[in-house]
Amino acid sequence: MPNENSPGDDAPVTRTTIEVDQAVWRQLRSAAVAEGKNVSTKLEEVLADHFDVDLDDTDTK
């Protein structure tokens, strides 16, 4: 059963484990909470912005 961190089968996602500096994690988590998002969503936005990926374009996701 999907939860907020595991989209349905039709969503093109990759699950992974990463190691992140605690200060970076706290900043990311704080920003996500402030925006009412989960950390996965916020991290995806940050990475997409960094790599200039348009998340609205499903062909590049």
Q: Please report, in tens digits, the pLDDT of each residue of the chain (61 residues total).
A: 344 555 555 668 899 999 999 999 999 999 999 999 999 999 999 999 999 999 887 554 4
**pLDDT at 30 (0 to 100):** 98
Per-residue model confidence (pLDDT) at position 57: 77
- Interatomic CA distance for residues 53 and 56, integer angstroms: 9
Q: What is the pLDDT of residue 1?
A: 39
Helices (H), the chain: 22-34, 39-50
pTM for this structure? 0.72
* Helices first, then strands: H and E counts in the chain: 2, 0
Q: Which 3 state secondary structure label does DSSP give 39?
A: helix
16 alpha-carbon distance from chain centroid:
11
| Confidence at residue 15, expressed as pLDDT on a 0 to 100 scale | 93
Q: How far is the CA of 4 from the CAs of 8, 12, 31, in angstroms?
A: 10, 15, 17
